[in-house]
Amino acid sequence: MTQTLTIPRPDDWHLHLRDGAMLQAVLPETARHFGRAIIMPNLVPPVVTGALAAAYRERILAALPEGMAFEPLMTLYLTEDTDPADVAAAHASGLVKAVKLYPAGATTNSASGVTNFDNVRAVLEKMAEIGLPLCTHGEVTDHDIDIFDREAVFIDRVLDPIRQSTPGLRVVMEHITTKNAADYVASQEQDLGATITTHHLIINRNHILVGGIKPHYYCLPVAKREEHRLALRAAATSGDKRYFLGTDSAPHTDPNKESACGCAGCFTATNTMSLLAHVFEEEGALDKLAGFASENGPAFYGLPVSSETLTLTKQDAPVAFPEKIESGDGPVTVFDPGFPVFWNAGG
């Protein structure tokens, strides 16, 4: 018997589309299934003003294939020079839905991020006043902190102090990777949500390192121990409205991934919905998938749930996903879960 699951059309609350030829290649992979996405601003140069966000949005819409419907939700890259008035104006216009905090040096194209958090206090206070969410890349970059501990230390040293000193600031902990983060979110009653990626529900650090280095599993924040992966699965499939999908789908060309200094990021836009159906079925929680992928994110951002739908169909033979997506910059490898997947998201 054919098994199907119909959910409201999902949204991606953390997405990298890049620019130029890469944007042209990867945008259709997201727009095939997702109605909206929070677009990351870590271009070179970064999207730091309302004017730059408006220009980037136009480039995204120009790259959208005819017949596809997709709404990019724009963000600003927080720097120590960010103007609170520009942020407020961009938000008031309806253009900007969040501001992104990258600790300097934390991930791809984050060199312009924040070093001294006192220098962004005025921006954070304005955001709390107007209800504009802060999306955080939750890692410290201190050289004395082990890379596997960066997220837990960020909560104690940066996130909790910011929230305590800025009442009313709405925060999204993006791409959480630890039980520490999941537990922190669960302990907070308001103004805090968290995105969880598809790949962090599937891989742990063994997948990256056992049997040789697997560059296409390398991402930041890096995958952690198995106990953390299981905690993320429990959070994502719990039905708790504070957790929602943010794929952090991050395309890099194969030469940039398979180099002596491989870029961080997993490209999951193509097969995320099929993989999520697989994971949620394994956890006996298919009835919770709509909340995680389609409902909890809009609720946090104050947006309506999509009136459109996506139907997933479980088939007898494994779904054949493309191994790579070709771009004008070079091939991009699609995330391989390492097991057969039978849920087809269509499109």
Give catalytic residue positions.
248
Concatenating the DSSP letter of every residue in 31-57 gives: HTT-SEEEEP---SS---SHHHHHHHH
End-to-end Cα, the chain, rounded Å: 22
CA atoms within 13 A on the CB side of 232: 30
The span from the CA of 217 to the CA of 199, in Å, is 8
Q: Are 38 and 15 spatial neighbours (Cβ–Cβ below 8 Å)?
A: yes
The span from the CA of 213 to the CA of 116, in Å, is 35
Three-state DSSP state, 193: strand
The span from the CA of 56 to the CA of 41, in Å, is 9
* CA-based radius of gyration for the chain: 19
Q: Whose structure tokens read 């790579």?
A: 324
Q: Are 48 and 75 spatial neighbours (Cβ–Cβ below 8 Å)?
A: no
The span from the CA of 171 to the CA of 194, in Å, is 8
Q: Are 95 and 50 spatial neighbours (Cβ–Cβ below 8 Å)?
A: yes
Closest of 61, 42, 165 to residue 106, by C-alpha: 42
Three-state DSSP state, 170: coil
